[in-house]
Amino acid sequence: MAIQINDIISKGILTPGRGLLEGYSHSLNPYAGCAFGRSYCYVRQLPVGLFCEEEWGTWVDVKSNAAQLLEKELVKARKKGKVTIFMSSATDPYQPVEAKVGLTRSLLEVMLANQPDFLFVQTRSPLVKRDLDLFKRFGDKIRISMTIETDKEEVRKAFSTSAPPIQARMKTLREITEAGVPTQATISPLLPCSRDFPEKLKGIASRVTLDDFWMGDGSGGKRTGKLGVRRIYEELGLDKWYNPDAHKIVLKMLREEIPDAELLVSQKGFDPY
């Protein structure tokens, strides 16, 4: 599928933290839209998804003036207190187009010149490894979080055809962890997985966070329900997984398999530090 790429001029780049991200002073989205087009993405039910003429997953807006905005807005934000940034809440900062335009990398460079107190980078793209040299310079003021919602490729393909393969994500996360950068394996949202999933997560990240639709979409699962995601579970014959208690079984498996790992659930796993 061809993705429509648009360069836009944004009026602002730092958004005050709210809702599930209330622990952060700001969120930062270098792009609008998302080429990964996940069927379960809660952003589809936000205004940016609902009121766009193009189908979600077919377009990406590049905020071409983001670095210039960030330079100015960081200075203002610092005058008001601690600056903790979540990148990103409504897109992936490592969209495929990032490999060409380097917008997220330019933002990291701006932040290194005027470091926030903490930066959380959320992605599902192996492209994130490109910026390892910059991550190291943040010391312990950064965490790289890789979404790994299942260990089964057939499930990944059913829910998010355009997203990067699971094995590539795991390999990238392990390499970033071994380089000494604080990391997180983020099972969010939890999708049907195998009993071997916890074992596969051993040692690939500094910690593991587990989340699901009901806890994580900001509406108790209502936004996800409107997307018709349950139908995919039914088509796969995995109806039992579409259950707000399913995460408890996987959490128990994680605790048994990797008892020494730091395991967090939902919002706590996305808070600063």
Of 157, 169, 160, 161, nearest in space to 125 by CA: 169
Tens of pLDDT, residue by residue over 26-45, are: 999 999 998 875 455 545 44
Q: How far apart are CA 62 and CA 35, in angstroms?
A: 12
Cβ atoms < 10 Å from Cβ of 4: 11
Tens of pLDDT, residue by residue over 229-252, are: 899 999 999 999 999 999 999 999
**How high is the pLDDT of residue 47?**
47
Tens of pLDDT, residue by residue over 62-88, are: 999 999 999 999 999 999 999 999 999
Token duo for residue 123:
């992605």
Q: Which are the contacts of 83, defined by CB distance < 8 A and separation ≥ 6?
A: 25, 26, 74, 77, 116, 117
Whether residue 85 contacts residue 29, with contact meaning beta carbons closer than 8 Å, is answered with no
- In the chain the domains, ranked by start, together with CATH numbers, are 4-269 (3.80.30.30)
Quote the distance between the C-alpha of residue 63 and its chain's center.
Answer: 18
Of 237, 179, 178, 173, nearest in space to 208 by CA: 173
The pTM of the full predicted model, rounded to 2 decimals, is 0.91
Q: How far apart are CA 56 and CA 223, in angstroms?
A: 15
**How high is the pLDDT of residue 227?**
80
Token duo for residue 68:
């210039």
